[in-house]
Amino acid sequence: MDKRLFMGALFKFILGFFIVGALLFISAGSFEYWNGWLFMGLLFIPMFIAGVVMMVKNPDLLRRRLNAKEGEKEQKQVIAFSGIMFLVGFIVAGLNYRFGIIDIPVYIVVIASIIFLIAYVLYAEVLRENTFLSRTIEVSENQKVVDKGLYGIVRHPMYAATIILFLSMPLILGSLISFVIFLVYPIIIAKRIKNEEAVLEKDLQGYSEYKKKVKYKIIPFVW
């Protein structure tokens, strides 16, 4: 086992847990914010399991997923906007609980939780199908175009999964206002995809032909 990789992954996991928890519960003003605990469990338990699986079966994939040093200028802006979206969305969700601004029925929270888990499964399948996936826009050595499975349906199944994940988050947290804030994410992703495809067409052999074969980016027959 790569101890440095393990410690790096564990550190980022723990850091993420405490940052998200702080944003939610400090703004909520209470640890009785049950939507916050539900969300933390749905987010971090599968994340921990996925990290362990990658550590054992594909440490190179885990290493790529942990690398957040983006080289593309446009993508640094995308990451910044995404960070602001999460920051504001989580704080607003906590404030919504504290002041009881808008209550969401429990059944909507339950449905959102189920959708979130389904999206997590799709995300895991994308990682299984494409072991070259990185958090940054880059073309790795010996990387090949993946055109089977979910990649045979849309060109960016990972982003499709993350859109579902992120739009279900504010509903799990019980905040319609946060949901409106998170609606900016598809716009952010559209900007990221435009730049990413330009890089892939230039640097990844066969990607131009793949674009002709699989016409839709995120949603079949729509986008």
The enclosing domain of 7 has a CATH number of: 1.20.120.1630
In-domain check, residue 223:
no
DSSP summary character for residue 206: T
In-domain check, residue 13:
yes
In-domain check, residue 186:
yes
In-domain check, residue 218:
no
Half-sphere exposure at residue 60, Cβ-oriented, CA atoms within 13 angstroms: 8
Q: Which secondary structure element, helix H or strand E, spans residue 2, and what is its range?
A: none
Q: Which of 163, 189, 158, 170 is nearest to 42 (CA)?
A: 170
In-domain check, residue 105:
yes
CB-based contacts of 142: which residues, under 8 Å, 6+ apart?
Answer: none
Half-sphere exposure at residue 17, Cβ-oriented, CA atoms within 13 angstroms: 14
pLDDT for 71 equals 59
Q: Is 189 exposed, middle or buried (0-12, 13-18, 19+ CB in 10 A)?
A: buried
In angstroms, the CA 38 to CA 42 distance is: 6
- For residue 23, the enclosing domain spans 3-213
In-domain check, residue 24:
yes
- Total domains, the chain: 1
In angstroms, the CA 29 to CA 105 distance is: 21
pLDDT for 168 equals 98
Q: Give the pLDDT of the chain (223 residues) as one tens digit per residue.
A: 678 898 989 999 999 999 999 999 999 999 999 999 999 999 999 999 999 988 888 888 888 778 766 555 667 788 888 999 999 999 999 999 999 999 999 999 999 999 999 999 999 999 888 877 766 666 666 788 888 899 999 999 999 999 999 999 999 999 999 999 999 999 999 988 988 888 888 888 899 899 999 999 999 888 8
In-domain check, residue 219:
no
In angstroms, the CA 218 to CA 149 distance is: 14
In-domain check, residue 34:
yes
Backbone angles phi, psi at 115, to 5 degrees: -60, -40
pTM of the predicted structure, to 2 decimals: 0.91
pLDDT for 22 equals 98
In angstroms, the CA 134 to CA 130 distance is: 10
